Structure 1
């Protein structure tokens, strides 16, 4: 039986975490059956079936994902969790999706999981959340699935960044040098990080920026051709992360989203032609949920993408995918 014909549930690993709770809520809103999986049964949410599995226990992971159609991994640091969880998903005959912002984790997924996923006939889609996936969709929308550009620039504005405990833990763990694309190749980002300014739409306006690439560099360069790919983040939001007193996000609406506002801009230059695509919305953790759940739901449909390790923009029609999320939770420009 193919994934497209299957009524099997979707497993959410790391289900006690902040982002995972948005994912479970989104699955429930869409009427998709879910299973909450975590390392400690006592912290798992109520209202859905639960299973317990530690990262180091391959047999427990196999049992947790048995009978599932898709596994969505929300448990960071993904440098530690992505390969064990994805390998168990593949053994179970399930597709795999995660929300990593970590470049090294996304690279490992593409390098190590493509062949096993193809052999199992399932898709593996790393970095399908706000970082990685959203910029990849915007860039693919600009260039087309097989497009090329001389230069791609990603600029992200956050009015505040209230980090979760998982974000702080990942920051401590992720000490791998960051990569950019220069002369068509992935290379280490020059240090010190470049400073610049960028004018966003309101309410952000003109912002001081710092070069800080996330997993979008890996997802975009996976399938789009560009001689240069650089990414920048508002310096004030990086200051929030570096400040140990910055609190975690607090719910400020009925959906549990924080007050945080974001805008992400992808600018493509080919010769003298410059095109720009934007997406804006509320709460980078919350918006990852509709992104990954939209991907999971499309994996269950007839005509699901080919098997193997794929980026979000590579797996799906980027324009159609983005339209499905507008005008809520994304406003597109």
Structure 2
């Protein structure tokens, strides 16, 4: 029986290389794709894989990539630019799709525009199955599953030592300048200008209370309400994260330097009568995101898919706590529920 092929778009970038290394370590057949043919050929020789040159303005090349694979993991941001052509090719070809997007408007576009095509071809598409967005979605489902009367779900990220790649830096600049922010308040999705504020979130020890930027424009406002009946959903990020020296001058640091991050992701689900909380802690957010997308892709390639295809959040496709526990076993982080 032929092993299903997993394609990586943006394979030569930092996240793409982490994904490729993990798939290779598991003996998974893969095709390395992107926009730099020389870099792709060199990397393909290193891994004994196939290279596929597919510029974003070449629909035939992107469609050929999607038709050759069982699952496509998209790692090349910013997704406001790269997302639509790659995701559309996957939806049209019936290729399962995962991406590392943090941009809410890209995620909303997939839910709005590609739901019908993906359902028609049977493709399961999971945007933002990465550190930001995907882990918050899964952790929220693990914390709040089965609860009713939820007033607020808060996803709080405490991150130190973050070193941005070129794509992440472009994404950050875009999100900072965004005036049409997507939020979920009073039981409805809302798009418009939101004045950021400083808030305080009480992380579990040893972090304790931290000053936060709230809200941050992450995908949880889109994904969590799909499976948790909350009136309000908000994501926050420690203000200190972007105040650290070197965070915006880190495009060309070594992979070892980029790996030196510390993080805690915490979720609170609050009702009139109390609530629940949970968190995960770890190091190297890039590797945690890569492991999440690889685990999801391998499950999709193995047939662990919904009966009907379509665009879904991570927690709509996979049982949240078991998925997180699997990542914990792989060394991505430690889970406390």
Work out whether the TM-score is over 0.5: yes
> Residues 285-323 of structure 1: CA distance to partner in whole angstroms, max 9, x if unpaired?
221111011111111234422311100001111111111
- Separation in structure 1 between the aligned mates of residue 276 and residue 313 of structure 2, nearest angstrom: 22
User: Which moved further from structure 2: 195-204 or 15-24?
Assistant: 195-204
Match of 2:213 among 194, 210, 230: 210
- Secondary structure in structure 2 of the residue aligned to 1:326: helix
User: Which moved further from structure 2: 9-18 or 238-247?
Assistant: 238-247
Look up the match of 1:179: 182
- Separation in structure 1 between the aligned mates of residue 70 and residue 250 of structure 2, nearest angstrom: 38
Task: From the superposition, tell whether residues 247 and 11 of structure 1 become closer, same or farther in structure 2 (CA, over 3 Å).
Answer: closer
Match of 1:329 among 323, 328, 332: 332
Question: Does the aligned pair in 2 maintain the 1:38–1:52 contact within 8 Å?
Answer: yes
> Residues 242-274 of structure 1: CA distance to partner in whole angstroms, max 9, x if unpaired?
96435655333xxx8611100000100122121
Look up the match of 1:168: 169
Residues 1:266 and 2:262 aligned together: no
In the TM superposition, residue 155 of structure 1 has moved relative to its aligned partner by 0.8
Look up the match of 1:10: 6
- Secondary structure in structure 1 of the residue aligned to 2:156: strand
Task: From the superposition, tell whether residues 275 and 192 of structure 1 become closer, same or farther in structure 2 (CA, over 3 Å).
Answer: same
**Which runs of 5 or more residues in structure 2 are unaligned?**
none
Question: Does the aligned pair in 2 maintain the 1:162–1:240 contact within 8 Å?
Answer: no
Look up the match of 2:255: 251
Residues 1:194 and 2:197 aligned together: yes
Question: Does the aligned pair in 2 maintain the 1:89–1:96 contact within 8 Å?
Answer: yes
- Secondary structure in structure 1 of the residue aligned to 2:163: coil
Match of 2:16 among 13, 20, 34: 20
Task: From the superposition, tell whether residues 130 and 113 of structure 1 become closer, same or farther in structure 2 (CA, over 3 Å).
Answer: same
User: Which moved further from structure 2: 170-179 or 90-99?
Assistant: 170-179
Question: Does the aligned pair in 2 maintain the 1:12–1:73 contact within 8 Å?
Answer: yes
Task: From the superposition, tell whether residues 105 and 260 of structure 1 become closer, same or farther in structure 2 (CA, over 3 Å).
Answer: same
Q: Using structure 2 for the length normalisation, give the TM-score.
A: 0.89
> Residues 73-109 of structure 1: CA distance to partner in whole angstroms, max 9, x if unpaired?
0111111222210111123321011010000010001
RMSD of equivalent CA atoms: 2.3
Question: Does the aligned pair in 1 maintain the 2:186–2:232 contact within 8 Å?
Answer: yes
Residues 1:309 and 2:305 aligned together: no
Task: From the superposition, tell whether residues 248 and 198 of structure 1 become closer, same or farther in structure 2 (CA, over 3 Å).
Answer: farther
Matched residue count:
326
1:282-297 maps to which residues of 2 (within 5 A)? 282-297=283-298
- Separation in structure 1 between the aligned mates of residue 325 and residue 200 of structure 2, nearest angstrom: 30
User: Which moved further from structure 2: 140-149 or 307-316?
Assistant: 140-149
**Which runs of 5 or more residues in structure 1 are unaligned?**
none
> Residues 148-198 of structure 1: CA distance to partner in whole angstroms, max 9, x if unpaired?
621101110012221111111223344433222110112247643121222
- Secondary structure in structure 2 of the residue aligned to 1:158: strand
Look up the match of 1:138: 139
- Separation in structure 2 between the aligned mates of residue 58 and residue 147 of structure 1, nearest angstrom: 45
Question: Does the aligned pair in 2 maintain the 1:162–1:248 contact within 8 Å?
Answer: no
In the TM superposition, residue 38 of structure 1 has moved relative to its aligned partner by 0.6
Q: Using structure 1 for the length normalisation, give the TM-score.
A: 0.91
- Separation in structure 1 between the aligned mates of residue 192 and residue 335 of structure 2, nearest angstrom: 29
Match of 2:36 among 24, 32, 40: 40
In the TM superposition, residue 33 of structure 1 has moved relative to its aligned partner by 1.1
